[in-house]
Amino acid sequence: MQSEVIISGFGGQGTLYAGQVYAYAAMDEGKHVTWIPSYGPEMRGGTANCTVVISDEEIGSPSALHPRAVIALNLPSLDKYESMVAPGGFLIVNESMVNREPTRDDIHWLMIPANTIARDLGNERAANMVLLGALEANMKALPEGSLERALEAHTAERLQKFINLNIEALHRGAEYRVD
């Protein structure tokens, strides 16, 4: 099985980091993985997205014209990627930064107040992990606990103080399920 995921938002929202965690988790589970980042020239505030492809077999192309899932951290990301999600796929939207619901009825979608949840946990920058937790809880592309293990194994030393917060954010996001 192959799953393509696009994670998109503004620079500074942890878009690329969320993709890295997802890619590391898949790699640690023995999957074939590609992670392709794309970002504007601005470090913070510009657009940023990444494509993560996870497969049981070799990956033919790291791009995703119709991904199985999209995480949209802001309105421009929802506007750009909603139409690309494959029918039956998943669209996980940061309700804290988006003022409309998705319009498609052939996909599964969730509106999650990720910034609010992360702020309640102690750091609004964990919103990316809230959404990643929701994505994996619904897609089930990896064994349970894979994301947590990836955070513990691959977080830089200077950021390890945030591991428990990020794990709690994953768990809070995982509480959101499509009907």
DSSP 71-102: EE-SHHHHHHHGGGSPTT-EEEEEGGG-SS--
Q: How confident is the model at residue 45 (pLDDT cuts 50, 70, 90)?
A: low
46 pLDDT above the threshold of 80: no
Instruction: State phi, psi for 169 to the nearest 5 degrees.
Output: -65, -40
Instruction: State phi, psi for 31 to the nearest 5 degrees.
Output: -85, 160
61 pLDDT above the threshold of 90: no
pTM for this model (two decimals):
0.94
Q: What is the pLDDT of residue 168?
A: 98
Q: What is the pLDDT of residue 77?
A: 96
- Give me the percent of the chain exceeding a pLDDT of 90: 87
CA 25, CA 146: separation in Å to the nearest integer? 5
42 pLDDT above the threshold of 70: no
CA 69, CA 89: separation in Å to the nearest integer? 6
Cβ-Cβ contacts under 8 Å for 5 (sequence gap 6 or more): 19, 22, 51, 52, 53, 54, 64, 67, 68, 69, 70, 71, 135, 139
Q: What is the pLDDT of residue 41?
A: 65
Q: Strand 47-55 relative to strand 2-10: parallel, antiparallel, unpaired? A: antiparallel
Q: Which three-class secondary structure state does DSSP give residue 48?
A: strand
89 pLDDT above the threshold of 90: yes
From the list 38, 42, 94, 100, the residue with the least C-alpha distance to 64 is 38
CA 59, CA 81: separation in Å to the nearest integer? 22
Q: What is the pLDDT of residue 43?
A: 58
CA 37, CA 16: separation in Å to the nearest integer? 6
| Overall average pLDDT of the 45-61 stretch | 89
Full set of structural domains in the chain with CATH: 2-174 (3.40.920.10)
